[in-house]
Amino acid sequence: MTQDQATRYPIVLVPGFFGFVKLVVYPYWFGIVPALRRGGATVIPVMVSALNSSEIRGEQLLGRIEEILRETGAAKVNLIGHSQGAITIRYAAAKRPDLVASVTSVAGPNHGSELADYIESRFPIHTARGRLLNAALLVVGWAMHLLDTGYRGTRLPTDLDAAHLSLTTQGMASFNSQFPQGLPTTWGGQGAELVNGVRYYSWSGTLQPGRTNRGWNRLDGTNVTCRIFASTFTKERGQSDGMVGRFSSHLGTVIGDDYPLDHFDIVNQSLGRVGKGANPVGLFLEHAARLKAAGL
């Protein structure tokens, strides 16, 4: 076992919308946790409400961080969040920067998701088709809760409407007005890396014909889903991972925003079946080494 990823502070992984720790035996962070641990890192995947606002999820995360600090004796944690998990960790760091060493957004909709905007306009919650979609999503969420063997705490609250609003451009604009730490001052730019003692980083991917639709992704239905969802984008047409736009993902120091990874590939889903030449696990290993080098 090497110590290349042996960060000073524990790495806490926070999932996104419809997130989980482990469904029966299948982990959300497929292959990522054991790879980091082999490198000497202390890695803790956590659960927050699969469907709720980023603020509610953030409060839940703060409680879990305090538990982790008591259990490990560490003074701070390194937070890595995927998708809505990125917004969740931003909230926690803004509220308690003294407990957080770093925030890393992985495909986070830091300026909102055009997909969420599309769903809001086409499936309003007070219409029949909006209620039908919500009912279907709630059933999926209920089933996933029953299958999640990685979390055995009290039942976490669900608010699908609040979760969806949190991901829209309007919802994120409101969030960003309250919690601007690490945000770029210009569209497509980079933000401050160090704010209130917390270091901010981000990376994301884009759909790239000939790459993301090749390799094992030819057998991965989630890639097809992302390609369909990408058609809803207008501002960042051709520059999204299917759910989040390339420039919308920017936060702090942008490590990269055009990796050949769709929204699921970036956390090595599904079953590690990713596009041609993609190495999402390697990105996490490189980042842990980066955090270690920074004394984090």
Q: Is residue 5 part of a domain?
A: no
Q: Is residue 32 part of a domain?
A: yes
Catalytic positions: 83, 241, 263
Q: Is residue 2 part of a domain?
A: no
Mean pLDDT score, 202-218 = 93
220-233 pLDDT tens trace: 889 999 999 999 99
Residue 1: pLDDT above 70?
A: no
Could you give the CA distance from residue 162 to residue 170 in angstroms, rounded to a whole number? 12
Q: How many domains does the chain have?
A: 1
Decide: helix, strand or coil at residue 203.
strand
pTM here is: 0.95
Range of the domain at 28: 11-293
Mean pLDDT score, 11-16 = 97
Residue 170: pLDDT above 80?
A: yes
Q: Is residue 1 part of a domain?
A: no
What residue type is assigned to position 150 of the chain? G
Q: Is residue 67 part of a domain?
A: yes
Which is more confidently placed, 229 or 135? 229
Q: Could you please report the per-residue DSSP string of 36-95?
A: HHHTT--EEE----SSS-HHHHHHHHHHHHHHHHHHH--S-EEEEEETHHHHHHHHHHHH
Summary mean pLDDT of the chain? 92
Binned at pLDDT 50, 70 and 90, residue 122 comes out as: confident
Binned at pLDDT 50, 70 and 90, residue 112 comes out as: very high
Which among 112-116, 122-126, 276-280 has the top mean pLDDT? Answer: 112-116
HSE of 182, CA atoms in CB hemisphere, 13 A = 33
Binned at pLDDT 50, 70 and 90, residue 10 comes out as: very high
List Cβ neighbours of 105 (8 Å cut-off, separation of 6 or more). Answer: 81, 86, 89, 90, 200, 201, 202, 203, 204, 249, 251, 252
Name the DSSP class of 101.
Answer: E
CB 87 within 8 A of CB 175: yes
Could you give the CA distance from residue 266 to residue 109 in angstroms, rounded to a whole number? 14
Tell me, what CATH number does 277's domain have? Answer: 3.40.50.1820
Q: How many CB atoms lie within 10 A of CB 234?
A: 10
50-98 pLDDT tens trace: 899 999 999 999 999 999 999 999 999 999 999 999 999 999 999 999 9
Mean pLDDT score, 33-48 = 95
Q: Is residue 244 part of a domain?
A: yes
Q: Is residue 167 part of a domain?
A: yes
Q: Is residue 15 part of a domain?
A: yes
pLDDT of residue 125: 76
